[in-house]
Amino acid sequence: MNEITNIENKIYIIRGKRVMLDFDLAQLYGVATKRLNEQMKRNRERFPEDFIFQLSKDEKNEVVAKCDHLVNLKFSPVLPYAYTEHGAVMLASVLKSTVAVQASIQVVRAFVKMRSILIEYKELKSKVEKLENKYDKHFKIVFDAIKALMDSPKSKPKKITGFSKK
């Protein structure tokens, strides 16, 4: 598995935002989670609420239940932080290590790749809807089958765990 795919598998949708958890970012940046969050707190002015938020207890429990690699967080009393793409990049700037800078480049690439996949999916769905409107009821069965396949994708562009229906 290449590095970008590995990162994509650690991007979740929580509260309608694509985020990475502090635990995963700490591993990627080669620092302890505690150290990563200390640096964020020391530089809090660089992390507005659209860059970072702390999970609720229910959100933490749900993400831990769905992600095997987060089993260590199950009994932790600390609620994890979720960093958006911009928050993840800002972390690299406050950590100031070569590893963090290089890893942040891969994180940005993973977020960009996910965004392009979602855009392509929306464009394809739009084209199918236009064709459906153009060719009326003669092809309704075909279009219904295509839409059913699109609405429940079996292909794996990436594993997303989240709390919204976006």
19 part of a folded domain? yes
Where do the DSSP E strands lie in the chain? 12-14, 17-21, 52-54, 81-84
147 part of a folded domain? no
164 part of a folded domain? no
155 part of a folded domain? no
Eight-state DSSP code of residue 53: E
* Cα first-last separation, the chain: 26
pLDDT tens digits for 33-75?
Answer: 998 999 999 999 999 999 999 999 999 988 888 877 777 777 8
pLDDT tens digits for 64-100?
Answer: 888 777 777 778 888 999 998 888 888 877 876 666 6
59 part of a folded domain? yes
Q: Which residues of 118-134 are buried (b: 16+ CB within 10 A; e: fewer)?
A: eeeeeeeeeeeeeebee
**Structural domain harbouring 105:** 3-115
138 part of a folded domain? no
Report the pLDDT value the prediction gives residue 155, as an integer from 0 to 100.
47
- Whose tokens are 């996949």? That residue is 117
80 part of a folded domain? yes
162 part of a folded domain? no
Q: In what order do the strands lie in the sheet with 17-21?
A: 12-14, 17-21, 81-84, 52-54
pLDDT tens digits for 118-150?
Answer: 777 777 777 777 776 676 666 667 777 777 777
The pair phi, psi for residue 77, each rounded to 5°, is -75, -15
Q: What is the pTM of this model?
A: 0.59
Which residues have CB under 8 Å from 69's CB, separation 6+?
none
Number of domains in the chain: 1
